[in-house]
Structure 1
């Protein structure tokens, strides 16, 4: 079993606070979080394609640009949260691996 690590979840509490899960990453909530993150990333890719199409036409209205800006901002917030969550977990594992390597390299006393 892997060591538990705090994971920033891809959703917030009802009052807007970040939600964290401390687990080994193999449980039900971890799998739900993985699925939500994958959907958020896929939606961001779709939105990028849509934005490129809208901007290429150059016949957009200010309302279309405003809607696109709102949607791109929401997607960027979600993608940033995914990156932050994954970065925190990578840092935890890197620190743990470094500590493990240092223990193995230390001479026995």
Structure 2
């Protein structure tokens, strides 16, 4: 594994604190469906589509991950870092928390 991939993987593992199973269960909730931006012509938010990709990456062995997986992992890390910096007063029931959970990160953990 290249040093860049190793650092991306480490940052991804630090940012994503939900398992594939937890992410998939979260996607079944109304709270998950209620947040996020949807691209024109799409029916699912960007975050929910990302969550499905994250769950797939979590199930893929390191050796089988490709450049597109690592690009998405880097995107996830950036999203989580940016949004953690915007923490609201009440994070428990906030759209902020729900949005982060769509990206595989539960800030209450």
Q: TM-score range by the shorter chain?
A: 0.3 to 0.5
Q: Where is the helix percentage greater, Structure 1 or Structure 2?
A: 1
Provide the TM-score with structure 2 as the length reference.
0.34
Higher relative contact order (CA 8 A, sep 6+): 2
- Higher Cα radius of gyration: 1
Q: Is the strand fraction higher in 1 or 2?
A: 1
